[in-house]
Structure 1
Amino acid sequence: MKYYILILFCFSIQFAIAQPDSLFIKKKLVVIDSTATPRWVNKNKAGIDLNEVAFVNWSSGGSNSISAIFHGKSSLVYTYHDFIWNSTLNTRYGINQQESEPLKKTDDLFELNSSVGYKRSKKSKWYYSARLNFKTQFANGYSYPDTSNPISRFMAPGYMFFGGGMEYGKDIKKLSIYISPLTFKATFVLDDNLANSGAFGVTPAVYDDEGNILIPGDKVREELGILVTNYYEAELAKNVTLKSTASFYTDYLNSFGNIDVDWEVFIGFKVNNFIKASLGSHLKYDNDVKTQVVINEDEDEYAEAGAKVQWRQLLGIGFVVDF
């Protein structure tokens, strides 16, 4: 499936000119609405967060380790009169090395967001809006120390949301509340083994008594439901910013009322234009993502344990470049 998304950005400028008239000087204010002339601005940011621990003859013991998270963000915003088109690309990839243990992945994200909005008047704070969100990962994910059986891959899973609704925000860049009563969600599991096992909520394969596949597992799960998202950005103190992004989704046809939650909170600490620290929290719950418990460890027998809340915490200091 191919998606071609055009994203542009423009912002408005106002200025006044003064003209003399007869014996008195009268100032005539001429307001130029530059939104009538489409313009765009592309903003890019890339950085790396590092964390390192080393020990030499340390009496309490410990393991030397180093971890890094590479991250990048690109945005384009286009405005023309009361029309706005905003798109962002977010990428993250984190690794950890601890002494003689194998290299481990700690973070992995490829996310594209694009939203189109139109308001009926300049005084209105409500936008008629449509949104597209696509999210997946770059590399294989494992349940360490087992690195022979991936539990996730590129496009396994992959998530896509597309729908329309209303968006409210006195400043669409700093505050946004989006309500979409009709949003299509697709979950992609483009890996045969994961699809056959029914990972991430897709229909699993059907086997015969000898373990042969009669009907392969589905690679796409489709849902239609209601989506509510919120974005908020605030300056807590000088050089300290808070960013919160929350998403809530429930499917009309399958288990209506079971709400998928995706909530990220990041606090940024600016040391200077290049050095920054961050503290983050990421909480997720998806009723379609089931956990497993071990029944017989010797024979690798597992049983489904249902969905559980997922949470991770991030802390790092790093180097960031805007361009």
Structure 2
Amino acid sequence: MKLQILLIFSLLISLKSLATDFTHFAVSDTTATASKDTTTSDTMLVYWTEKNTFGVNLTEVAFLNWNSGGNNSISALFYSNFERDFKKDLTLWKNSASLRYGINAQEGREIRKTDDELKLSSSFGFRSDSTAHWYYSGKFSFHTQFSKGYKYPDREKAISKFMAPGYTFLGVGTEYSDPDEDLTLYLSPLTFKSTFVLDQRLANEGMFGVTPAKKDELGNIIEKGENMRTEFGFLVTSEYHKEVWENIKLDNQLSLYSDYLNNFGNIDVDWQLNFNMKVNDFVKANVGSHIRYDDDVKYKEDTNGDGKLETFGPRIQLKQMLGVGLVYEF
């Protein structure tokens, strides 16, 4: 766990250095252009916009001679977001990366993971004229996690890990973008979704919707489970950002996907709703929820205590978040 946390910190520092180097490169390049054509240099500065965010939310509870009892605990959520957008005339290219990792340490118990996410996305659009809000667009996204996940208190068998699962979406369609309303709506009738399970034990169990291993009457594996599942379907995504009250901003992200070839009409849902409250330039609070539903992801639980997980139907996945912490943006 210490090694994993160290690797995450190293990654964050590397990304920050990369962002700094990129900025230095851009400044040097435009300065050189300015020596030839000042007008062109000033225009180039407007094409690229960038935003970098580093933050940590901390929660600590300590007891001393407390009659009601309780365990000392501390929780930390480290996160960072990077945005690189290019807009020129009829062209719009948006890129983003999101990294999150949370841990909880409680007296008398091992450190446990509370959050884990690595997400990359990129979309490229072209519109017919400078006043249109609709773009002909293509979109790619990738989503996985950093480290192993467990169904606590069991720490013997991981139920997830890096690229188990991993998801990619690649498609073409049309996107509505309104900078005044800070609203984006993407419609893609042609989207390929790939689910990767690169851990063979999890693939053999058919986790995350891949085809499980084939076994004989004695339970011996005669054909390994597949490590990838490919789908072809319809994707709708939406992002909306608005300051609903002074220093309180609403962030809403919704993704809906349905596979043409397998039970079309069953919709995979990924919905995040967050309220970000600004205390000052460096201290912020966050309240949010994250809902997921995937018809191919079955719920598993050991109901009879035999150490084996029984498989049930898909269920709604819900995560709630409340945090106060330090944020640095540039």
Give TM-score, length-normalised by structure 1.
0.87
| 1:305 counterpart letter in structure 2 | F
For residue 300 of structure 1, report the CA deviation from its aligned partner.
Answer: 2.7
Aligned equivalent of 1:176: 184
Q: After alignment, is 300-309 or 66-75 more displaced? A: 300-309
Q: Deviations over 1:211-248 (max 9, x none)?
A: 32211100000000000011000001111101000000
For residues 165 and 153 of structure 2, what CA distance do their matches in structure 1 show? 21
Which amino acid in structure 2 is aligned with residue 171 of structure 1?
P
Cα distance, 1:280 vs structure 2: 1.1
SS of the aligned residue for 2:230 comes to strand
> Which residue matches 2:57?
49
- 1:313 to 2:310 alignment: no
Shift of residue 50, structure 1, vs aligned partner: 0.5
Partner of 2:30: none
**1:170-223 Cα distance to aligned partner (Å, 9 max, x none):** 218821011101100000000010000000000000112333221110000000
Q: Identify if the C-alpha distance between structure 1 residues 228 and 252 changes in structure 2 by more than 3 Å, giving closer, same or farther.
A: same
How many Å separate the matches in 2 of 1:87 and 1:68?
A: 27
Alignment of 1:138-149 (within 5 A): 138-149=146-157
With 34-43 and 96-105 compared, the bigger mean Cα shift is at 34-43
- CA 1:132–1:46 in 2, change beyond 3 Å: closer, same or farther? same
Q: 1:252 aligns with which of 260, 270, 293?
A: 260
One-letter identity of the residue aligned with 1:70: F
| Post-superposition offset of 1:35 | 6.1
Matched, 1:96 2:104: yes
Distance 1:295 1:170, change over 3 A: closer
Match of 1:108 among 83, 96, 116: 116
The share of aligned pairs that are identical, in percent, is 47
Deviation at 1:64, TM superposition (A): 1.4
* Secondary structure of 2:121's aligned partner: strand
Would you say 1:150 and 2:158 are equivalent positions? Answer: yes
C-alpha deviation, 1:101, in angstroms: 0.6
Conserved 8 A contact 1:295-1:303:
yes
Q: Deviations over 1:28-64 (max 9, x none)?
A: xxx99x7688742332111100011111122222221
Q: How many residues align?
A: 295
- 8 Å contact kept, 1:131–1:163: yes
Unaligned runs of 5+ residues in structure 2 are: 1-21, 27-38
Q: Distance in 2 between the 1:286 and 1:125 partners? A: 31
Q: Distance in 1 between matches of 2:137 and 2:181?
A: 15
Give 1 or 2: higher helix fraction.
2
Aligned to 2:174: 166
Question: What's the Cα RMSD here?
Answer: 2.2
In the alignment, the residues of structure 2 paired with residue 269 and residue 49 of structure 1 have an alpha-carbon distance, to the nearest angstrom, of: 13
Residue in structure 2 matched with residue 220 of structure 1 by the alignment: 228
Tell me, yes or no, if structure 1 residue 82 matches structure 2 residue 64: no
Determine the C-alpha separation between the residues in 2 that align with 1:234 and 1:42. 19
Aligned to 1:200, what secondary structure does the other structure show? Answer: helix
Q: What letter matches 2:319 in structure 1?
A: R
Give the secondary-structure state (helix, strand or coil) at the position aligned to 1:195. helix
Q: Distance in 2 between matches of 1:300 and 1:77?
A: 49
- Out of 62, 66, 69, the residue aligned to residue 74 of structure 2 is 66
Alignment-derived partner of residue 131 in structure 2 = 123
Q: Deviations over 1:58-87 (max 9, x none)?
A: 222222111000000111111121101000
Match of 1:196 in 2: 204
Q: Deviations over 1:83-110 (max 9, x none)?
A: 0100000000000011111100000000
SS, match of residue 134 in structure 1:
strand
| Maintained 8 Å contact 1:35/1:79 | no
Instruction: Tell me how far 1:257 sits from its aligned partner.
Output: 0.8
More strand by share: 1
**Structure 1 CA distance, aligned partners of 2:287 and 2:308?**
38
Matching residue of 1:14: none
- Displacement after TM superposition at 1:295 (Å): 4.9
